[in-house]
Amino acid sequence: MGARGDFYDYRDKDGLGRVQHDVSIIQDTAAEKAQDMAEVGVTMHPWEYRQKWYGEDEKTAKSRARDLKTREDDERRP
């Protein structure tokens, strides 16, 4: 097995192809999501989190993040 990021050439019925072999460890999605949530407001905007984890485009993510912030602010008012 080659080192991380090695490329291997192979031939298929259509010609020459190329595959990158990655031997990195399996990512723990739940841990990554929790880490990103902890970073919201520090190094990541709420809309960036929504883009990454909910697959929203930037415009939609910004709009929904703004709507959630407005709801939170309204609930905190006496």
The total of structural domains in the chain comes to 1
Domain-located, residue 75: yes
Q: State the chain's mean pLDDT as an integer.
A: 78
Domain-located, residue 57: yes
Burial class of residue 36 in the structure, from the number of CB atoms within 10 Å of its CB (0-12 exposed, 13-18 middle, 19+ buried): middle
pTM: 0.57
Length of the chain: 78
Domain-located, residue 70: yes
Domain-located, residue 58: yes
Residue 50 has pLDDT above 70, yes or no: yes
For 11-39, the pLDDT digits (tens) are 666 666 666 655 556 678 888 899 999 99
**Number of CB atoms found within 10 A of residue 49's CB:** 19
Domain-located, residue 68: yes
Domain-located, residue 56: yes
Domain-located, residue 71: yes
Lowest-confidence segment of 40-49, 51-60, 66-75 by average pLDDT = 66-75
User: Which whole number is the average pLDDT over 52-56?
Assistant: 92
Domain coverage including residue 37 = 27-78
User: Nearest 5°: phi and psi at 9?
Assistant: -90, 145
Domain-located, residue 33: yes
Can you tell me the distance from the alpha carbon of 48 to that of 42, in angstroms, rounded to the nearest whole number? 12
